[in-house]
């Protein structure tokens, strides 16, 4: 296991995993004395060095940057208003004017596909953030303190873990339906909450396992011996060394959450129109009659959805490989 107590210069520059490997100066001194190790690279900087050698990283990162741009700044890609639909132009094949054709209402499929990325990215990012946050905290507490707290948190996690995510999502969202005049943020928020609620135990388990792995190390014992409080031990020693697995899995899961959102929206209970989302677009376009009369309606949102999910899963794999020395 790489010791993070002597961060190299690259890590200080704030690369992908830079923040969590920077311990406070006095701790560095304290632990360095005990451990007596002297390595030039931190976990983060080494991972970064590993990742940038791989073409898959650049490919997936490029795609993700592209989709992020779409989500943040869709007007960069299209001038068309995704909500402007002209029924006289319904179901046109892709053309110079409408690159991806038009849908049954005569809306521009290209514009709707570009604008649809925002919902997917928002759901993906917020779910990942929520799951990582809740999961990490629960996992840290359970692993670090052990005993009855561990038993309690683990059992609670298992309860949620036992609920199939899709089924649970349907039940939750069906119980709290959105109306068409519900603000966009709340519509998205409900989906995020539902997914977060059902997914956090995955991360909590990973975190707990990592914590248990890190706990017996000498630098933890040393910090304890020097009288450090639990809070400091967790933040300075446990978390930085246990977080790698969480980051890798969370990145992979980001893609999974996006797919889950699309599935729920496809079933008509995730995001609701007038929100624009790929899941809704796919649901609309996959009615039997339209498969023959307007297949492009289904094709483009599906391709974009697949690419986004693929990009995040590929990035997640690269990150996992880079963070886990055993895989090298």
Partner 1 sequence: MRTRIRALSAAALVAAALVATGCSSGDPTPGPAGGGEVVLRGCTAQNPLLGLMTNEVCGGHVLDVVTSQLMRYDAETAAPVYDIAESITTDDAQLFTVKLKKGYLFSDGTEVKAENFIRAWNYGAYAPNGMAQATFFEPIAGYADLQCPGDDCDANKPPKEELEGLQQVDEYTFTIRTTEPTSNMELRLGYTVFAPLPEAFFADPKSAEFGRTPIGSGPYKVTSNTATEIVMEPNEHYTGAFKGKVDRIVYRIYDNDSSAAWADLLAGNLDFNDIVPGDQLVGDAWIAELGQERTVVRTSGTIEVLTVSPNDPQFKDNPKLRQAIGQAIDRETITREIYGGSRTPATGWVAPVVDGYLADQCGKACVYDPVQAKIDYDAAGGYQGILSVSVNGDGGHKDWAEAVCNNLRNNLGADCIVNLTPDFRTLLNQARDGELMGLFRNGWVMDYPSIENFLTPIYRVGAASNYSGYNNPEFESTLTQAAAATNLAQANELYQAAEAMLAQTYPTLPMWYRTTPAAWSTRVDNVVVTKMGWIDATQVTVHQP
Burial class (CB in 10 A: 0-12, 13-18, 19+), 251: buried
229 lies in the site for partner 1, by CB under 8 A: no
Burial class (CB in 10 A: 0-12, 13-18, 19+), 186: exposed
How many Å is the maximal CA-CA distance in the chain? 77
Nearest to partner 1 of 87, 152 (CB atom): 87
Please tell me the distance from the alpha carbon of residue 56 to that of residue 65, in angstroms, as a whole number: 14
155 lies in the site for partner 1, by CB under 8 A: no
Report the residue from 147, 289, 326, 328 that binds partner 1 according to the rule CB under 8 A: 289
- Cα torsion angle, 150, 141, 327, 158, sign: positive
Nearest to partner 1 of 95, 293 (CB atom): 293
Please tell me the distance from the alpha carbon of residue 272 to that of residue 268, in angstroms, as a whole number: 7
Report the residue from 181, 227, 326, 328 that binds partner 1 according to the rule CB under 8 A: 181
- Cα torsion angle, 132, 134, 140, 142, sign: negative
Nearest to partner 1 of 221, 293 (CB atom): 293
Stretch that binds partner 1, among 25-33, 99-107, 130-138, 161-169 (CB under 8 A): 99-107
Residue 86 C-beta: closest distance to partner 1, Å:
7
Report the residue from 274, 295, 303, 327 that binds partner 1 according to the rule CB under 8 A: 274
> What 3-state DSSP class applies to 81?
coil
> Whole-angstrom distance between the N-terminal and C-terminal Cα of the chain?
13
Residues touching partner 1, count (CB under 8 A): 23
Residue 172 C-beta: closest distance to partner 1, Å:
17
Nearest to partner 1 of 216, 289 (CB atom): 289
Other CB atoms closer than 10 Å to residue 106's CB: what's the count?
Answer: 16
Q: b/e map of 188-222 (b: 16 or more CB within 10 Å)?
A: bbbbbbbbbbbbbbbbbbbbbebbbebbebebbeb
Residue 109 C-beta: closest distance to partner 1, Å:
15
Hey, which residues between 66 and 85 contact partner 1 (CB under 8 A)? 83-85
175 lies in the site for partner 1, by CB under 8 A: no
92 lies in the site for partner 1, by CB under 8 A: no
- Cα torsion angle, 91, 92, 97, 99, sign: positive
Report the residue from 97, 221, 293, 324 that binds partner 1 according to the rule CB under 8 A: 293
91 lies in the site for partner 1, by CB under 8 A: yes
Residue 281 C-beta: closest distance to partner 1, Å:
13
Stretch that binds partner 1, among 16-24, 31-39, 178-186, 301-309 (CB under 8 A): 178-186
Nearest to partner 1 of 244, 264 (CB atom): 264
Stretch that binds partner 1, among 3-11, 15-23, 54-62, 103-111 (CB under 8 A): 103-111
Please tell me the distance from the alpha carbon of residue 248 to that of residue 319, in angstroms, as a whole number: 6
Stretch that binds partner 1, among 162-170, 235-243, 287-295, 301-309 (CB under 8 A): 287-295
Contacts of 228 (CB under 8 A, 6+ apart): 236
Chain residues binding partner 1 by CB under 8 A are: 83-88, 90-91, 104-107, 179-181, 273-274, 287-290, 292-293
């Amino acid at each position: 296991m790489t010791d993070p107590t002597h961060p190299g210069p690259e890590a200080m520059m704030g690369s992908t995993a830079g923040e969590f490997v920077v311990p406070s100066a006095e701790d560095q001194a304290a632990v360095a004395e005990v451990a007596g190790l002297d390595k030039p690279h931190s976990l983060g900087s080494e991972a970064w060095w590993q990742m940038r050698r791989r073409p898959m990283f650049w490919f997936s990162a490029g795609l993700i940057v592209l989709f992020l741009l779409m989500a943040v700044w869709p007007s960069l890609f299209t001038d068309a208003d995704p909500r402007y639909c002209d029924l006289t132009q319904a179901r046109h094949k892709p053309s110079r004017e409408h690159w991806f054709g038009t849908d049954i209402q005569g809306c521009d499929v290209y514009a709707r596909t570009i604008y649809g990325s925002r919902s997917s990215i928002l759901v993906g990012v917020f779910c990942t953030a929520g799951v990582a946050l809740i999961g990490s905290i629960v996992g840290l507490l359970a692993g670090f303190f052990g005993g009855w707290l561990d038993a309690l948190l683990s059992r609670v996690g298992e309860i949620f873990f036992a609920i199939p995510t899709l089924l649970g999502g349907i039940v939750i969202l069906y119980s709290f339906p959105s109306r068409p005049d519900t603000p966009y943020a709340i519509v998205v928020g409900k989906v995020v909450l539902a997914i977060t609620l059902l997914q956090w135990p995955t991360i909590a388990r990973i975190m707990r396992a990592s914590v248990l792995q890190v706990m017996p190390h000498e630098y933890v014992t040393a910090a304890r011996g020097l009288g450090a409080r639990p809070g400091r031990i967790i933040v300075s020693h446990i978390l930085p060394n246990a977080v790698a697995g969480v980051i890798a899995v969370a990145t992979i899961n980001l893609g999974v959450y996006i797919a889950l959102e699309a599935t729920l929206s496809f079933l008509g209970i995730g995001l609701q129109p007038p929100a624009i989302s790929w899941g809704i677009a796919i649901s609309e376009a996959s009615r039997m009659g339209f498969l023959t009369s307007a297949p492009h309606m289904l094709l483009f949102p599906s391709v974009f959805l697949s690419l986004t999910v693929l990009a995040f899963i590929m990035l997640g794999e690269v990150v996992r490989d880079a963070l886990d020395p055993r895989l090298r």
